[in-house]
Chain A
Amino acid sequence: MTVELKTDKLLDCTGLLCPIPVVKASKAIKEIEVGQILEMIATDPGAPPDMEAWSRQTGHQLLQQTAENGQFRFWFRRTK
Protein backbone atom coordinates (compact mmCIF):
# COMPACT_ATOMS: atom_id res chain seq x y z
CA MET A 1 0.00 0.00 0.00
CA THR A 2 1.36 3.39 -0.89
CA VAL A 3 0.92 6.50 1.18
CA GLU A 4 0.28 9.93 -0.28
CA LEU A 5 3.47 11.85 0.44
CA LYS A 6 4.01 15.56 0.05
CA THR A 7 6.78 16.06 -2.48
CA ASP A 8 9.07 19.07 -2.17
CA LYS A 9 11.04 18.36 -5.31
CA LEU A 10 10.43 16.06 -8.27
CA LEU A 11 13.33 14.56 -10.20
CA ASP A 12 12.47 12.86 -13.48
CA CYS A 13 15.17 10.43 -14.64
CA THR A 14 13.04 8.72 -17.27
CA GLY A 15 15.22 7.12 -19.94
CA LEU A 16 18.47 7.71 -18.07
CA LEU A 17 20.87 4.92 -17.18
CA CYS A 18 23.37 4.40 -14.37
CA PRO A 19 25.17 6.44 -13.11
CA ILE A 20 23.15 9.50 -14.16
CA PRO A 21 20.08 8.96 -11.90
CA VAL A 22 22.34 8.60 -8.84
CA VAL A 23 24.43 11.64 -9.81
CA LYS A 24 21.25 13.69 -10.30
CA ALA A 25 19.69 12.44 -7.05
CA SER A 26 22.81 13.41 -5.11
CA LYS A 27 22.60 16.93 -6.56
CA ALA A 28 18.82 17.24 -6.11
CA ILE A 29 18.82 16.20 -2.45
CA LYS A 30 21.16 19.11 -1.72
CA GLU A 31 18.61 21.51 -3.20
CA ILE A 32 15.95 20.73 -0.57
CA GLU A 33 16.01 21.34 3.17
CA VAL A 34 16.68 18.66 5.77
CA GLY A 35 13.38 16.90 6.45
CA GLN A 36 11.94 17.68 3.01
CA ILE A 37 11.04 15.00 0.48
CA LEU A 38 12.55 14.29 -2.92
CA GLU A 39 10.44 12.26 -5.31
CA MET A 40 12.26 10.52 -8.12
CA ILE A 41 11.04 8.78 -11.26
CA ALA A 42 13.32 6.32 -13.06
CA THR A 43 13.08 3.68 -15.76
CA ASP A 44 16.58 2.18 -15.46
CA PRO A 45 15.94 -1.48 -14.54
CA GLY A 46 18.81 -1.22 -12.06
CA ALA A 47 17.20 1.70 -10.25
CA PRO A 48 15.49 -0.19 -7.37
CA PRO A 49 18.65 -1.87 -6.01
CA ASP A 50 20.75 1.19 -6.89
CA MET A 51 18.51 3.69 -5.12
CA GLU A 52 18.20 1.44 -2.06
CA ALA A 53 22.01 1.34 -1.95
CA TRP A 54 22.16 5.10 -2.50
CA SER A 55 19.91 5.55 0.53
CA ARG A 56 22.12 3.26 2.65
CA GLN A 57 25.33 4.96 1.54
CA THR A 58 24.15 8.56 1.83
CA GLY A 59 21.88 8.07 4.82
CA HIS A 60 18.92 9.79 3.16
CA GLN A 61 15.84 7.85 4.13
CA LEU A 62 13.94 5.89 1.49
CA LEU A 63 10.36 6.35 2.63
CA GLN A 64 8.55 4.50 -0.11
CA GLN A 65 8.98 3.07 -3.57
CA THR A 66 6.64 1.85 -6.27
CA ALA A 67 7.06 -0.06 -9.54
CA GLU A 68 4.47 0.10 -12.27
CA ASN A 69 4.88 -0.82 -15.95
CA GLY A 70 8.63 -0.40 -15.83
CA GLN A 71 8.40 2.95 -14.10
CA PHE A 72 9.95 3.23 -10.65
CA ARG A 73 9.13 5.95 -8.13
CA PHE A 74 11.09 6.69 -4.98
CA TRP A 75 10.49 9.07 -2.11
CA PHE A 76 13.50 10.12 -0.08
CA ARG A 77 13.67 12.28 3.01
CA ARG A 78 16.80 14.43 3.31
CA THR A 79 18.31 13.56 6.69
CA LYS A 80 21.39 15.78 6.85
Chain B
Amino acid sequence: MTTAMDTALQQVLTPSQPEARPKRLALVCSKGGLDEVYPILILASTAGALGWETGVFCTFYGLDLVNPKRRKKMKVAAVGNAASPPPISGVEMRVPTILGMLPGMNWVAGKMMKGWMKKSNMPDVEEMMETCLESGVQFYACATTMGVMGVSKDDVMAEASCLGATAFLDFAAGADVSMFI
Protein backbone atom coordinates (compact mmCIF):
# COMPACT_ATOMS: atom_id res chain seq x y z
CA MET B 1 0.00 0.00 0.00
CA THR B 2 1.30 3.39 -0.90
CA THR B 3 1.31 5.88 1.88
CA ALA B 4 1.25 9.64 1.47
CA MET B 5 4.87 9.60 2.59
CA ASP B 6 5.82 7.25 -0.25
CA THR B 7 4.06 9.43 -2.77
CA ALA B 8 5.85 12.52 -1.50
CA LEU B 9 9.18 10.70 -1.56
CA GLN B 10 8.50 9.51 -5.08
CA GLN B 11 7.92 13.09 -6.19
CA VAL B 12 11.21 14.22 -4.68
CA LEU B 13 13.12 11.35 -6.25
CA THR B 14 11.68 11.83 -9.73
CA PRO B 15 11.63 15.56 -10.34
CA SER B 16 9.60 16.69 -13.30
CA GLN B 17 11.76 16.99 -16.41
CA PRO B 18 12.65 20.58 -17.21
CA GLU B 19 11.01 21.66 -20.45
CA ALA B 20 13.39 21.22 -23.36
CA ARG B 21 14.24 24.63 -24.75
CA PRO B 22 16.09 25.35 -27.98
CA LYS B 23 19.74 26.32 -27.81
CA ARG B 24 20.47 30.00 -28.00
CA LEU B 25 23.16 31.88 -29.95
CA ALA B 26 24.01 35.51 -29.20
CA LEU B 27 26.17 37.27 -31.77
CA VAL B 28 27.58 40.78 -31.74
CA CYS B 29 28.21 42.26 -35.18
CA SER B 30 30.59 45.16 -34.57
CA LYS B 31 32.08 45.68 -38.04
CA GLY B 32 30.60 46.52 -41.40
CA GLY B 33 33.01 45.10 -43.96
CA LEU B 34 31.86 42.43 -46.40
CA ASP B 35 34.47 40.04 -44.96
CA GLU B 36 33.26 40.87 -41.45
CA VAL B 37 29.52 40.33 -41.90
CA TYR B 38 29.78 37.04 -43.82
CA PRO B 39 30.86 35.06 -40.71
CA ILE B 40 27.91 36.58 -38.83
CA LEU B 41 25.46 35.63 -41.58
CA ILE B 42 26.90 32.12 -41.97
CA LEU B 43 26.79 31.35 -38.24
CA ALA B 44 23.35 32.91 -37.79
CA SER B 45 21.77 31.10 -40.74
CA THR B 46 23.32 27.81 -39.62
CA ALA B 47 22.03 28.25 -36.07
CA GLY B 48 18.62 29.17 -37.50
CA ALA B 49 18.65 25.99 -39.60
CA LEU B 50 19.45 23.96 -36.48
CA GLY B 51 16.42 25.44 -34.78
CA TRP B 52 18.48 27.56 -32.37
CA GLU B 53 17.09 30.80 -31.08
CA THR B 54 19.48 33.35 -32.59
CA GLY B 55 19.94 37.05 -31.95
CA VAL B 56 22.43 39.39 -33.65
CA PHE B 57 23.22 42.67 -31.92
CA CYS B 58 24.43 45.13 -34.57
CA THR B 59 26.54 47.87 -33.09
CA PHE B 60 28.90 50.60 -34.33
CA TYR B 61 29.94 49.90 -37.93
CA GLY B 62 28.14 46.57 -37.64
CA LEU B 63 24.90 48.55 -37.67
CA ASP B 64 25.26 48.61 -41.47
CA LEU B 65 24.06 45.01 -41.49
CA VAL B 66 20.54 46.16 -40.60
CA ASN B 67 20.74 49.27 -42.78
CA PRO B 68 19.62 48.04 -46.23
CA LYS B 69 21.01 51.03 -48.12
CA ARG B 70 24.48 50.68 -46.62
CA ARG B 71 24.40 46.89 -46.58
CA LYS B 72 24.09 46.85 -50.37
CA LYS B 73 27.30 48.90 -50.66
CA MET B 74 29.52 46.87 -48.36
CA LYS B 75 33.22 46.75 -49.25
CA VAL B 76 36.43 45.18 -47.98
CA ALA B 77 39.17 47.30 -46.39
CA ALA B 78 42.08 47.32 -48.84
CA VAL B 79 44.55 48.60 -46.25
CA GLY B 80 45.60 46.77 -43.11
CA ASN B 81 44.87 43.25 -44.30
CA ALA B 82 48.15 41.34 -44.46
CA ALA B 83 46.35 38.25 -45.76
CA SER B 84 44.78 39.86 -48.82
CA PRO B 85 45.46 37.59 -51.79
CA PRO B 86 47.01 38.54 -55.13
CA PRO B 87 44.35 40.18 -57.33
CA ILE B 88 45.22 38.12 -60.39
CA SER B 89 44.96 34.41 -59.69
CA GLY B 90 48.12 32.53 -60.50
CA VAL B 91 50.25 35.68 -60.44
CA GLU B 92 52.02 35.89 -57.10
CA MET B 93 51.96 39.69 -56.89
CA ARG B 94 50.14 41.44 -54.10
CA VAL B 95 48.82 44.97 -54.13
CA PRO B 96 51.32 47.11 -52.20
CA THR B 97 49.69 48.57 -49.08
CA ILE B 98 50.35 52.10 -50.30
CA LEU B 99 48.18 51.47 -53.38
CA GLY B 100 45.37 50.35 -51.09
CA MET B 101 45.10 53.97 -50.03
CA LEU B 102 44.05 55.07 -53.51
CA PRO B 103 40.41 56.07 -53.94
CA GLY B 104 38.17 53.18 -54.89
CA MET B 105 40.46 50.42 -53.64
CA ASN B 106 38.01 49.25 -50.95
CA TRP B 107 35.40 48.97 -53.68
CA VAL B 108 37.83 46.94 -55.79
CA ALA B 109 38.63 44.62 -52.86
CA GLY B 110 34.91 44.23 -52.19
CA LYS B 111 34.27 43.46 -55.86
CA MET B 112 36.97 40.78 -55.72
CA MET B 113 35.41 39.11 -52.71
CA LYS B 114 31.95 39.20 -54.32
CA GLY B 115 33.57 37.51 -57.33
CA TRP B 116 34.94 34.61 -55.28
CA MET B 117 31.63 34.20 -53.50
CA LYS B 118 29.73 34.03 -56.76
CA LYS B 119 32.23 31.57 -58.24
CA SER B 120 31.76 29.30 -55.20
CA ASN B 121 27.93 29.43 -55.47
CA MET B 122 27.80 31.35 -52.19
CA PRO B 123 24.70 33.50 -51.80
CA ASP B 124 25.29 37.26 -51.65
CA VAL B 125 24.72 39.28 -48.47
CA GLU B 126 21.08 40.03 -49.36
CA GLU B 127 20.27 36.35 -49.93
CA MET B 128 22.07 35.36 -46.73
CA MET B 129 20.04 37.96 -44.84
CA GLU B 130 16.81 36.55 -46.31
CA THR B 131 17.83 33.03 -45.26
CA CYS B 132 18.52 34.26 -41.71
CA LEU B 133 15.16 36.03 -41.46
CA GLU B 134 13.31 33.02 -42.88
CA SER B 135 14.76 30.81 -40.15
CA GLY B 136 13.72 33.25 -37.43
CA VAL B 137 17.05 34.96 -36.68
CA GLN B 138 16.41 38.19 -34.76
CA PHE B 139 18.44 41.30 -35.59
CA TYR B 140 18.85 44.05 -33.02
CA ALA B 141 19.93 47.58 -33.89
CA CYS B 142 22.01 49.14 -31.12
CA ALA B 143 20.14 52.21 -29.95
CA THR B 144 23.28 54.01 -28.79
CA THR B 145 24.99 53.54 -32.15
CA MET B 146 21.91 54.90 -33.89
CA GLY B 147 22.12 58.01 -31.72
CA VAL B 148 25.89 58.43 -32.04
CA MET B 149 26.00 57.85 -35.79
CA GLY B 150 22.80 59.69 -36.59
CA VAL B 151 20.97 56.67 -37.97
CA SER B 152 17.19 57.06 -37.94
CA LYS B 153 14.64 54.26 -37.42
CA ASP B 154 13.68 54.61 -41.09
CA ASP B 155 17.23 53.66 -42.11
CA VAL B 156 16.96 50.36 -40.22
CA MET B 157 15.13 47.41 -41.79
CA ALA B 158 11.64 46.81 -40.43
CA GLU B 159 12.52 43.26 -39.28
CA ALA B 160 15.14 44.55 -36.82
CA SER B 161 14.20 45.84 -33.42
CA CYS B 162 15.98 48.69 -31.73
CA LEU B 163 17.37 48.04 -28.26
CA GLY B 164 20.22 48.82 -25.92
CA ALA B 165 23.03 46.87 -24.28
CA THR B 166 20.92 45.97 -21.25
CA ALA B 167 18.22 44.26 -23.30
CA PHE B 168 20.81 42.43 -25.39
CA LEU B 169 22.71 41.25 -22.31
CA ASP B 170 19.42 40.03 -20.89
CA PHE B 171 19.00 37.91 -24.04
CA ALA B 172 22.69 36.87 -24.08
CA ALA B 173 22.60 35.84 -20.41
CA GLY B 174 20.49 32.89 -21.48
CA ALA B 175 22.68 31.98 -24.47
CA ASP B 176 24.52 28.69 -24.86
CA VAL B 177 26.96 30.23 -27.33
CA SER B 178 27.93 33.87 -27.65
CA MET B 179 30.46 35.51 -29.94
CA PHE B 180 31.76 38.97 -30.72
CA ILE B 181 32.77 39.52 -34.33
- Check A18/B120 contact, CB under 8 A, given A23-B131, A23-B135, A58-B51: no
**Nearest CB in chain A to that of B52: its residue:** A57
Contacts A15-B121, A22-B46 supplied; 19 other A-B pairs, CB < 8 Å: A17-B121, A17-B122, A18-B42, A19-B42, A19-B45, A19-B46, A20-B121, A20-B122, A20-B123, A22-B49, A22-B50, A23-B48, A23-B131, A26-B50, A26-B51, A54-B49, A57-B23, A57-B51, A57-B52
Q: Say yes or no: A17-B120 contact (C-beta < 8 A), given A23-B131, A23-B135.
A: yes
Specify which of A15, A16, A17, A23 is in contact with B49 (CB 8 Å cutoff). Answer: A23
Residues in B with CB closer than 8 Å to A25 are 49
What are 18 A-B contacts with C-beta separation under 8 Å?
Answer: A17-B120, A17-B121, A18-B42, A18-B46, A19-B42, A19-B49, A19-B131, A20-B121, A20-B123, A22-B49, A22-B50, A23-B45, A23-B48, A23-B49, A23-B135, A25-B49, A57-B50, A57-B51
Q: Digit string of A36-75 for contact with B (CB within 8 Å is 1, else 0)? A: 0000000000000000001001100000000000000000
Contact with A along B113-138 (1 / 0, CB 8 A): 00000001111000000010001000
Task: Identify the closest chain B residue to A14 (Cβ).
Answer: B121
Give the A interface residue count (CB, 8 A). 14
| Shortest beta-carbon distance from B71 to chain A in Å | 18
Task: List B contacts of A18 (CB < 8 A).
Answer: 42, 46
A17 CA / B123 CA spacing, docked (Å): 10
> How far apart are B119's CB and chain A's nearest CB, in angstroms?
10
Q: Mark A10-38, 1 if CB is under 8 A from B, else 0.
A: 00000111111011011100000000000
Q: Is A26's CB under 8 angstroms from B121's CB? A: no
Residue on A with the closest CB to B46? A19
Interface residues of chain A, those whose CB is within 8 Å of chain B, are 15-20, 22-23, 25-27, 54, 57-58
Q: Is the CB of B121 within 8 A of A16?
A: yes
Contact code string B41-64 (vs A, CB < 8 Å = 1, else 0): 011011011111000000000000
Q: How far is the CA of A57 from the CA of B47 in the complex (A)?
A: 10
With the chains together, A57 CA to B49 CA distance in Å?
10
- Are B123 and A54 touching (Cβ within 8 A)? no
